[in-house]
Chain A
Amino acid sequence: MTPTAPDSSQIIKGLCELALLSLLKDRPHYGLEMLHILRTEAGIDLADGTIYPLLHRLAKAKLVQAEWRLDQDGARPRKYYALTSSGQRELAVQVEQWRKVSVALSAFLSRKHKS
């Protein structure tokens, strides 16, 4: 997949927080794994480095909590992120906001011009 062009990617990047919170709703994930899922399932092709300041910001806001764990082989340390109860509430709010904006924008974009 070709990384998104810089100009159009700003729209997608603004939605990263929502996508990350939604991703963590099911189970904890680590950074590289989240990037892979965002790319393959959400079509959000972020540069690798983009995700850590976002995760750091979410952790500072106590929307997610982080924990170091070793992988199954015990060879690699990975920092896993899980959604907190505040994060779940924030996700619900952001999903609702996104749905309202999405419906309104879709209606606007598909409007018919009056002749």
Chain B
Amino acid sequence: MSPDPTSIQNPSEIQNWLRRFKWSLAAIPSPERDDIVAEVAAHLHESLCAGKSPAAVLHQFGSPENYAPYFIDEIELSSALSSQHSGAMIAAVLNRVHRSAIAAALGIALLFLGAIFFTALTAAFLKLWDPAHVGLWHHGRLFFIGKIDDPASARELLGFWLYPCAFVAIALSWLAGRFVLVHGVRSLAQKERFTAPKLA
């Protein structure tokens, strides 16, 4: 059980910093957040007792808004990996796309696989409603999948084979997406593990 950080008598600068730090950790569940704040508060208090000034003590931590993400990022990745939920893992990747080459590459790969998944799914559904106008079409040197207004202007290549083909495309893109996602998030976690925070 972590102690209550507000029970420690600290100067107002320290109290303000701790308050902002706690706000910045809002994404973390309460017991864990309180535990992190209590530990940092105990450290700050002990440093002050050793004769350091509040400014010198806080300089070692940087701004609370910059310091908090080091904890949030770690929790986001480890929670996503332990839950194995696709949504949580995709969110963890998207939150890093602007600052990680691995995350950016993962985002592009997932976008590509997602496009295959949804195109196959949509084509299969549309084929159920309008089998005469939906399919894999060949016109001149062009191949495309979808719906056309005039079926006589192009040649349909799959017919009702579109359903098993769509099923295979959906299954393969889903499996490939999961594989890329799980291994990509593991790589991100491994990389962040060896990237220590830059402070002071």
Is A53 touching B74 in the complex (CB atoms < 8 A)?
yes
Is B40 touching A76 in the complex (CB atoms < 8 A)?
no
Residue of A49, A61, A68 touching B197 (CB-CB under 8 A): A49
Question: Can you list, as one digit per residue, whether each of B42-85 has a CB less than 8 Å from chain A (1) or not (0)?
Answer: 11011100000000010011100001001100110010000000
User: How many pairs of residues, A versus B, come closer than 8 Å at their CB atoms?
Assistant: 79
Interface flag for A28 (CB, 8 Å) = no
Interface size on A, residues (CB 8 A): 25
Interface flag for A43 (CB, 8 Å) = no
Interface size on B, residues (CB 8 A): 31
Interface flag for B196 (CB, 8 Å) = yes
Is B196 touching A31 in the complex (CB atoms < 8 A)?
no
Residue of A14, A48, A56, A61 touching B196 (CB-CB under 8 A): A14
Minimum distance in angstroms from B195 CB to a CB of chain A: 8
Closest-by-CB residue of B relative to A16 is B196
Minimum distance in angstroms from A5 CB to a CB of chain B: 12
If the complex has contacts A16-B196, A32-B46, are A56 and B60 also in contact, measured as CB distance less than 8 A?
no
Chain A residues lying within 8 Å of B197, measured Cβ to Cβ, are 13, 49-50, 53-54
Q: Name the residue among A31, A32, A53, A79 with the largest chain B CB count within 10 angstroms.
A: A53
Interface residues of A in 47-63 (CB under 8 A from B): 47-50, 52-54, 56-57, 60-61
* Cα distance A47–B57 in the bound complex, in angstroms: 10
Interface flag for A78 (CB, 8 Å) = yes
If the complex has contacts A13-B196, A48-B60, are A56 and B43 also in contact, measured as CB distance less than 8 A?
no
Chain A residues lying within 8 Å of B70, measured Cβ to Cβ, are 53
* Cα distance A10–B199 in the bound complex, in angstroms: 11
Interface flag for B13 (CB, 8 Å) = no
A-B contact pairs, 19 of them (CB 8 A): A10-B198, A13-B197, A16-B196, A32-B43, A47-B62, A48-B47, A50-B197, A52-B40, A53-B70, A53-B197, A57-B74, A60-B78, A61-B78, A68-B2, A76-B45, A76-B46, A77-B3, A77-B42, A79-B2
Instruction: Please give the residue numbers on chain A whose beta carbons come within 8 Å of chain B beta carbons, in ascending order.
Output: 3, 6, 10, 13-14, 16-17, 31-32, 47-50, 52-54, 56-57, 60-61, 68, 76-79
